[in-house]
Chains A and B, each alone.
Chain A
Amino acid sequence: MTKGRIRVLLAKPGLDGHDRGAKVVARALRDAGMEVIYTGIRQTPDMIVEAAIQEDADVVGLSILSGAHLELFPPVIEGLSKKGREDVLVIAGGIIPDDDIPALQQMGIKAVFGPGTSTEDIISFIQKIAAAK
């Protein structure tokens, strides 16, 4: 990750169309100097894994507000791992109840950014992990 600009793939898994957060984060990360690819809405887990590999992403950000996170996040993590890309930092945002966060972290989501998160916090989280690699 230390080689040049951090590459981030932001994706909206499932059928949820709430993309305000994803678009704001995408722009903030780009303004912070990262290379950002935003997939748009209605992505299947397979499409996201495929895009992450194709784009050689360092980071995958998953945004979901429909409540389908426990069903749709695991296949993304598994898919990346199957392709030998466990190194990709996977983070998430959206409407995710606190009670679900431990399970998501267990499966390999490194951070969950809920409503009210400052984009600065997301930027510094990504930069810190990138610097440590």
Chain B
Amino acid sequence: MANKTKQEWRETTLASALKRAAERQDKFETSSGLEIDTVYTPEDLVNFDYTRDLGYPGGYPFTRGVQANMYRGRMWTIRQYAGFGTAEETNQRYRYLLEQGQTGLSIAFDLPTQIGYDSDHPLAKGEVGKVGVAIDSLRDMEVLFQDIPLEKVSTSMTINATAPILLAMYIALGKKQGVEPAKLNGTTQNDVLKEYIARGTHIFPPRPSMRLTTDIFAYCAEQVPRWNTISISGYHIREAGSTAAQEIGFTLANGIAYVQAAIDAGLHVDTFAPRLSFFFNSHINFFEEIAKFRAARRLWAKIMRDRFGAKESRSWMLRFHTQTAGYSLTAQQPHNNIVRTALEALAATLGGTQSLHTNSFDEAYAPPSEEAVTIAVRTQQILGYESDIAAVVDPLGGSYYIEHLTNSLEKEAGEYISKIDSIGGAVAAIEQGYQQREIQDSSYRYQKEIESGNRTVVGVNKFVSPYPKIVGLLRVKPEVEKRQRERTAQVRKDRDTGNVNRALKRLEDVARSKDNTMPAFLECVEAYATVGEICDVLRKTLATQKEFLVF
């Protein structure tokens, strides 16, 4: 006799199965510790309303995707984050990646570039070209994009505190190549709030930083209309140890802070909101991640329409880039990372990502070698072109489990946003260390779960076996620092010092005023002022910010 309800089934069919054999674990949980039931049924979706909760792809609330036909029209963009050493070496890697069928570039800058020090600054010692490419002046950008026409590529730049400078360089480079700003495509990460929370490359205090952020919104709305002015990032929040719900809750709360700051600066929401973009992590928790992407889209659509009164459909859309989880990579049995990455990439595509970076298997050791990055690119191509997952939109939509998880993640993330609202918004919460503390608690719990064996990491705490050492790891040679310093010294010699000083003075004046800073940044970079020189002016006028350390 068939069971009529889940409860009845639980008491009869399931109970007798459990009597015969207990389950492998006492309980099964999501990354935020919510218990996962044995099975999901229509009873778990009692108030489910298709039109209200899902709708059709390309329409509000975009749960099923931002485009009507998703990957049937345009495949997601394969966008590998890359950069190391000098501009020459990175230029070679970019050209290699484009030859392999990559469709967008993503610049990894070294830490001195991100934190506003030139390669010859004492604090840059040992860091030049290590985690990304060293860019001191426009000259380096010219080398970086040698033989890469800017009208043919879209370029994402992981740059935050120094975002206006690097964006100005990209615009200046376009002009030199004969590409007008209106034709440039790409993204500046430009999300400093998550730097205070999780990533640590902030320079200035939050409020003046937000002003630089919104200056980019305003400038691009007029001059660089196809530019994604910001990539509001949950990726690093998750890498720092948050749960999936915290990732979207904290990220969307940061998004709210940026939108509010732009409105407060006098911008109309529908002029800048369509150019906001997001960046999420795809972790190893497969179904939860798919649900997370869907929940984030629905929640943002509601926030933009109902909280901010945006009228344009494009303002409601959450478009996002995804990177597979660096944290899930293991140094042990490193080839297993290829499989982890494939699974995470699958979740990202089933979740409707617009672009994707797949990690390389050797990244628990070093930036990826050419062999490793090729496998990572091929992983995406197998998913996109060999399997048939790209043929249908949101194939898991309507799954009782996925819809239930989407609902519960949206609810949980919404609660974090309410909590942050009650503290006074994302900036106030960061200053009090709220997000940092929450993330630290989650990451500690995660570590304890691994150490107690409650969470399995293959090759680390289970199925441990000897593994061969990876050969061919990428090493950034110490000569790189020397060569880069020499180039910057040469730039300083060749340029017109009077021009540089005038441009820096104008930037200082503009930074002290309420005017948009972007034209002044453009003038500085075109005079070949360096990132470090420009940041020295800003450190003086905007002040600097120490880490909001909670420990």
What is A's interface to B at a CB cutoff of 8 Å?
Answer: 14-20, 23-24, 26-28, 38, 40-42, 44, 66-68, 70-72, 95, 97-99, 114-116, 118-120
Contact = CB atoms under 8 A, between A and B. Distances in A.
B551 A26 contact: yes
Given A15-B123, A26-B551, A42-B200, A116 B460 contact: yes
Contacts of B364: 95, 114-115
Contacts of A24: 241, 443-444, 447
A41 B440 CA distance: 15
9 contacts: A14-B126, A16-B131, A20-B239, A23-B440, A67-B131, A68-B125, A68-B126, A116-B331, A116-B457
Given A27-B440, A38-B551, A95-B365, A19 B332 contact: no
B127 interface: yes
A71 B126 contact: yes
B391 interface: no
A40 B127 contact: no
B17 interface: no
A120 to B, nearest CB: 6
B249 interface: no
Interface string B296-332: 0000000000000000000000000000000101111
A11 B332 CA distance: 25
Max chain A CB contacts within 10 Å: which of B241, B447, B457? B447
Contacts of A40: 546-547, 549, 551
A14 B111 contact: yes
Contacts of B127: 14-16, 66, 68, 71
B128 to A, nearest CB: 9
Given A20-B443, A24-B443, A71-B126, A118 B111 contact: no
Nearest to A118: B451
A17 B239 contact: no
B199 interface: yes
Contacts of B241: 20, 24
A66 B111 contact: yes
Max chain B CB contacts within 10 Å: which of A23, A71, A99? A23
Nearest to B84: A67
Contacts of A20: 239-241, 327, 443
Contacts of A27: 440, 444
B199 A17 contact: yes
A82 to B, nearest CB: 18
A67 to B, nearest CB: 4
Max chain B CB contacts within 10 Å: which of A18, A38, A114, A119? A18
Contacts of A116: 330-332, 457, 460
Contacts of A115: 329-331, 364
A68 B130 contact: yes
A98 B478 CA distance: 18
Contact of A16 (B111, B331, B332, B366): B111
B268 to A, nearest CB: 35
Closest 9 CB pairs of A and B: A17-B200, A71-B126, A68-B126, A15-B111, A67-B130, A115-B331, A116-B460, A40-B549, A115-B364
Nearest to A15: B111
Interface in B100-156: 111-112, 114-115, 117, 123-127, 130-131
B502 to A, nearest CB: 30
A97 B334 CA distance: 13
Interface in B152-207: 195, 199-201
A38 B476 CA distance: 29
A42 B201 CA distance: 9
Nearest to A10: B551
Contacts of B332: 116
Max chain A CB contacts within 10 Å: which of B126, B330, B331, B365? B126
Contacts of A120: 451
Contacts of B115: 15, 42
B366 A97 contact: yes
Interface in B455-508: 457, 460-461, 469, 473, 475-476, 478
Contacts of B239: 18, 20
Nearest to A115: B331
Given A16-B131, A16-B200, A71-B125, 17 more contacts: A14-B127, A15-B117, A15-B123, A16-B111, A18-B239, A19-B200, A20-B241, A23-B443, A24-B241, A28-B444, A38-B551, A40-B546, A68-B126, A70-B126, A71-B127, A95-B364, A116-B460
Nearest to A17: B200
Contact of B476 (A19, A41, A67): A67
Contacts of B111: 14-16, 66
A116 B457 CA distance: 9
A24 B112 CA distance: 26
Nearest to B117: A15
Contacts of A97: 365-366, 473, 475
A72 to B, nearest CB: 5
Contact of B331 (A38, A41, A114): A114
B240 A41 contact: no
B81 to A, nearest CB: 15
B547 A66 contact: no
Contacts of A19: 200, 240
Nearest to B130: A67
A77 to B, nearest CB: 14
A115 to B, nearest CB: 4
Nearest to A120: B451
B159 to A, nearest CB: 14
